[in-house]
Each structure stands twice: as structure tokens, then as C-alpha cells.
Chains A and B, each alone.
Chain A
Amino acid sequence: MRILIIGNGIAGGEVAFGLRRAGSADEITILSAEEVPEYDPCSLPYFLGRDVPRPRVFRRRFEDYSSAGIRLETGDAAVAIDPQARRVHTSSGREYAFDRLVLAHGGSLFVPPIPGIDKPGVHRCKQLPEADRLDRHRGSAAVVIGSGAIGIEAAEALKKRGYAVTVIEVMDWILPALFDPETAGRLKRRLERCGIAALTGERVLRIEGTQAVAAVVTDRRTIACDTVVLATGIVPGVALARTAGIEVGRGIRVNERLETRVSGIFACGDCVETVDACTGEDAMFQLKHNAIEQARIVVRNLRGEPAAYPGAWAFARAHFFDTHAVSFGKTTRATQCELGQLEIIEREAGEDYLRVILKEGIIVGGQAIGRFADAAGLLIGAMWRRESIPLLRARRELLGGPPTATPWTTRKLGELLGLTG
């Protein structure tokens, strides 16, 4: 069988090598728009900040492909799919026939319509060539537009390289998709203490400069700079599928076997619209662990084993200098338009902070900074098990009693949530 994979990112690589690990003798081809073997986009800010040398960002070497008998076509992007003729056309004009197709081309950076956004000095940090370009760039003052995880990591990397760094966020708090304002406010203060300015609730109007970037103008001020980094979020790549008549929503629509509406065409990774494994709601968590798990489900289905994908899960850490924070599940904002009694449990000890969001007595999400974050796994476990916190509260005497009645994880959970007194 000829299996064609579009995209050589985390998902694409995991499908190809996963097939070989599962003993597949199929003809496997990966089409990559990039010129390099598989690398990890999560690693790029750390290469940029010189925490690790460049080779460490790679997940594979060219030899790995040849020794696994996987054909890797680099520098050739898929531009059209013909689902009837079972062919893919590429930018170089070549044609690839397939029996099974896997769409794993991920997403692309959302580029906001800001005047001056194409000036020299405006950088991105999503792909390796972009990170290389920013690495070669010599500047002294940077503005990072967007304060998601990538924005904060890029800001830290530039700060370490001696830049003066300002982060601009259009929402009222930093890391808005991951944290509630209460948590984000604490993180913002710590960010500023590290010498990174964070401006929230501010909109970038234009990027000025006669030739290269000279300043960023927001609705409140003008910031002189020679470098701009766009960290404005990732949008799933749906154009390729849509033009081929494959159904798309926010991402490519798939069934629970991760097969698109066209039989024999699968999709996984950042380009897919999936469900939240905890709640069953539609979800787009474009995170590495989800890409890996989806790719493994695709492998099993390609091998003829009907495997269902249980859904994606939200888990992200925020880490800069000596600040460590974690977020999992839903934020308060994400639960705002749902029915159900919300309860927030907060704990604070010095600079450390814990915030757990309960809906109808069950943990649906949480955020932690510092020492509290070390026990995040216990909270995530309780969220997955749908452990009833009111019941735990009612039985609080058991939490401190003889160790036979309650598992230790639950007892530590009670302690973490301050139920044991």
C-alpha cells in the first residue's frame, strides 16, 4: 500500500515511524515544505535563548528516514489533493499517487492585518528557518506581539540575548488562553521583575520605519524598537483540505478514527478539529502531546485496527527565568458560558499560588505557580477520574485517619486543596 503523509512535523513523523515500528512494509512517503528533518517547534525558543545548541531541536536525522525506508521529499509543498484520482500535486509540479493519505501539515501563524507587518525586522518563531533568521538578526530592542506561550518564551529568549523586550497583549491579561486574570497578574509581575515589560489591553495599530522596523505604535503609545516578533497564535491549515472538498470547520473535520469525510484520507496534528477528552466538547488544543497521540491512532487505523481517539487534553506550562507555572483543563473564561455551579479554590503561600476551578463539585481545570505546581499531576488525575470534591470535603476526617481507607493520592489532594485543615 502507498501511504502518503503531508507534513514532516511531530504528527507526520510519528505516523511514518509509528507505522514502521508496528511492522508496516508499506511504501511510505513524507512530503515536507521545509528543507530539514523533523524538529520540535516547542524547542525553538530555547535554541534562540541559547539554552541548548541548534542540533538539539531536531527529533530525527536524515539517516533515520533512509534507514527506516521512509522516503522524505523536502522543499516541496502539497498544493492540491485530488481525492477521486488519489493524487497529490506539489508546488514543483510533481504528482504523488497514494492509497492512503495522512494530512499532518499543521497550522500556520495568524498574521494580523497591521500596516507595516511585512517590513524587514518583523520576525516569527514558529518554524526553524524563522528562528534561524531571528538568531542571525542583530538588534537591541524587541517588541513581541502576543503573549501566548510562544510569545513569553520568545521574550525570555530575547531578554537573555540582551534585548530590551516589551510584550504587547490585546487582551486584558497575559497568557489569556491558559490562565485566569488572577494567575496571569501574578505572572505579569514576575515577568516585569525579570526586566520584560508587559502591556496588556493594548492594540498594535501599525509598525513604523522607513526601511526596517523603527517603532511599534499602539493605541496608547509609541515604542521604539528594531525587532518585532509575531506570536499571534496558530490557525489550523484547512485550505488544502477545503479546496479538495474535504469537510472543514475550525480545523479539518474527522471522525473518531481520525478519518476525514473522504474515506482513506486521515488527518492528525494541529490541522485537526477534535474533542476535549474530559468534556466531549469540540476543542482545538494545538499541543504536541495531542499530535503524538492522534498520530498513534492514525497508525493503528492504517494498520487495519479500528482505534478510536478519546480526545485531546489541555496541559501547558509557562516557564521563564525562575518562574514556573502550569495550566490544565479549562480556564474560568472557558467555563463562563456553560451551565453549572462554579467554585474556585485558591491557595497562596508567599509567591506560590494555586487556583482550582470546580464545576458541580468536579475539577474542570486549574492553574498553579511555584511549589503548588509540583503537585499538578494529582489535580489532573482527580479531573480525569471526576473525583467529587464535596464528597472529599465531607469525608475529611478520613483524609487524616488510618491509611487504609483512602488512596494516598487522594489524601495528598485533600492536603493540597486545604481540606485537611
Chain B
Amino acid sequence: MKEPSAPNTLIHVIAERCSGCRRCEIACSMVHCGIPTPQRSRIRILPLPRRTGFIPVLCQACEDAPCLKTCPMNARLRTAEGAVVTDEESCIGCRACLYICPYGAPTVSPDDGKTLTCDRCAGEPGGPWCVAACRDCGALEAVRPEELFVRGSRAAARTLRHVWSPPRSRRCAS
């Protein structure tokens, strides 16, 4: 069994910025399959009801990932970089990892029914392709794990300031 080590790159999702253009899906399938086929993408853009927004869904590589424990073939593996991937040699396409996933993240391959998940483009010198493809919107960012919480807190603070900014008159009263 492989031991998890410190992850080097995480993909930080800022869903509010997603325009639903799905360039990330094309980039992902390009780098992994060599042809632009969004059905084979490991990141998926989920439209919210009535298209009020879009959520980029990809494997979060949970610390205590339930898919690692429920796969009947032990085909879900933690890589040295901390990602959780499917070993295609062992996968039988039963979808247990998809069904137990809190996000429904794994993609079922249209070719063989096996599951595909984000490996954060391990070995690609330019980093994850989806992040590069999302440059215009900036909904995806490659971050170091220690940066993630800082960015998350700042983003939350920005949102709260927007939602809860007190009326001008009261702000002056203090």
C-alpha cells in the first residue's frame, strides 16, 4: 500500500468566477486522451438549477477518502503527490467510488466504464492544464496546500464584506 505524502499542488476552485465555458474539460481530455472530448474529462462543469451558476467538480482527494475503502478491487490509490486515482488495470467499472463520493467527482469513461479522476496533471511541466485553460475566468488556481487556507479565508472575507456591508449612514456614526 502506498503511503500518502505531502501533496505539492492543489487545484483551488472559486466557483463564483466560473462562466460555464467548459474549456477546462477540453484541456483535461486533451492532456489525458490527446483528443478534445469533454466526456473523458476528469473535471466537470455542473450547471446549477435554472443555470444560476456553475460548479467545477473534480476529485478533492479527501484526507480520509471513502472511495479508497469501498472499492471492491482496491483500485483506488493515493499517489505520492497526494492525489487519489483509479488503477485502470484493476478497475472493473462498478462505480462504487462514484457512488460514495460526496461530490460525485469521478468521471465514468465512455470507453470502458472505468472511473477517471484528477491526477493534477502529474508530470506536466506547466502544471494542471485546466488551470491554464481557465486563465480568463480565474475559477481554477493551482495552489500550494499551505496557501489554500489563506486564500479561502480572504475569499470568504471578501464575500462577507459584500453581503454584510453596513449602510453608509451607520458606518459614519461610529
Q: Which residues of A does B touch, CB under 8 Å?
A: 17, 21, 40, 42-43, 46, 51-52, 56, 59-60, 288-289, 292-293, 315, 317, 319, 324, 326, 373-378, 380-381, 399-404, 408-409, 411-412, 414-415, 420
Known: A56-B89, A401-B52. A319 touches B74 (CB 8 A): no
Q: Write out the residue numbers on chain A whose beta carbons fall within 8 Å of the beta carbon of B109.
A: none
- Distance in angstroms from A257 CB to nearest chain B CB is 19
Q: Write out the residue numbers on chain B whose beta carbons fall within 8 Å of the beta carbon of A412.
A: 46, 48-49
User: Which size class do B's interface residues fall under?
Assistant: 20 to 34
CB–CB A40/B95 < 8 A: no
* Secondary structure of the A contact surface, majority rule: helix
CB–CB B53/A403 < 8 A: yes
Question: 4 shortest A-B CB distances, which residue pairs?
Answer: A42-B72, A289-B69, A403-B53, A326-B99
List 19 other contacts, CB 8 Å, given A52-B90, A377-B101.
A21-B3, A40-B73, A40-B74, A42-B73, A56-B73, A288-B72, A289-B69, A317-B95, A326-B99, A374-B104, A375-B104, A377-B98, A378-B104, A402-B52, A403-B52, A404-B159, A408-B53, A408-B55, A414-B49
- Distance in angstroms from A154 CB to nearest chain B CB is 13
Contact with A along B78-120 (1 / 0, CB 8 A): 0000000000011011111011111110001000000000000
- Distance in angstroms from A384 CB to nearest chain B CB is 9
CB–CB B49/A17 < 8 A: no
Contact with A along B28-72 (1 / 0, CB 8 A): 000000000000000000101110110100000000001001101
Tally A-B pairs: CB < 8 A. 98
Q: Write out the residue numbers on chain B whose beta carbons fall within 8 Å of the beta carbon of A409.
A: 102-103
In the bound complex, CA of A193 to CA of B135 (Å): 49
Q: Write out the residue numbers on chain A whose beta carbons fall within 8 Å of the beta carbon of B72.
A: 40, 42-43, 46, 288
- B150: interface (CB < 8 Å): no
Of A52, A373, A401, A403, the contact of B73 (CB 8 Å cutoff): A52
Of A319, A326, A377, the contact of B103 (CB 8 Å cutoff): A377
- Distance in angstroms from A319 CB to nearest chain B CB is 4
